[in-house]
Amino acid sequence: MSGFLAAHGYDPGPTQRPFTAGAIAGLLATPPAILLLHLLRSLAVEARILGLPVILTIVAGCVAMAVAGALYARLLGRAANDVRGGWLFGMAFGFALWAAGAVFVLPLLGNGELPAGPPATGVFLSLILWGGCLGALLPFIQRRTHLKVDEPGVAENLGPTLAARDPAKR
């Protein structure tokens, strides 16, 4: 059944570059989340829990959110590219990250400590905001990173043309 669905466009193809588009969207969705973390005083609490300076916490967060964005784009496939509903898928993914990351991974990295009170709310809201921004941005970024099959040299390196080529020349 999954082969049938893949043949009919539910999985992103190799020209769609879901990892690239997701990483870029994840990175671009991070500044609003960082601002919210800062405004709700959650950023300093996260830095203290992780034992890192705030700037290194931000850098680590940017890297983690780029990876999470790539994972989002790959896991959700074409559903992540929906202009009308992508923001909602993104918010759901942000919630899942909060449940996994802030509730499970952060205490493992920070000697069992968790943010509490308003900082905990800030962490939750920042991941929901990040997910909404990710989902809203991804369809537009994906269009920019999508390979055009009709461009010279692209079609020769995909699909049946690539499969028919001599393996030594691939």
Q: What is the pLDDT of residue 125?
A: 96
* Distance of alpha carbon 170 from alpha carbon 163, whole angstroms: 9
Residue found by looking up tokens 């509730």 in the block: 103
Low-confidence ranges of the chain (pLDDT < 70): 1-17, 147-170
What CA–CA distance (Å, rounded) separates 62 from 107? Answer: 19
Q: Specify the pTM.
A: 0.75
pLDDT at residue 1 in the model = 43
Residue 4: the pLDDT is 47
Q: How far apart are CA 80 and CA 42, in angstroms?
A: 28
Half-sphere exposure of 112 (CA within 13 A, CB side): 0
Quote the pLDDT of residue 43. Answer: 94
What gap in Å lies between CA 148 and CA 102, rounded to an integer? 39
* Domain boundary assignment for the chain: 17-144
- Residue 8 is predicted with a pLDDT of 46
Q: Measured in whole angstroms, how far is the alpha carbon of residue 62 from the centre of its chain?
A: 11
pLDDT tens digits, one per residue of 34-80 = 999 999 999 999 999 888 999 999 999 999 999 999 999 888 877 77
Q: Return the pLDDT at 131.
A: 95
List, as one string, the DSSP characters of 57-121. HHHHHHHHHHHHHHHHHHHHGGGGG-TTTHHHHHHHHHHHHIIIIIIIIHHHHTTT----SHHHH
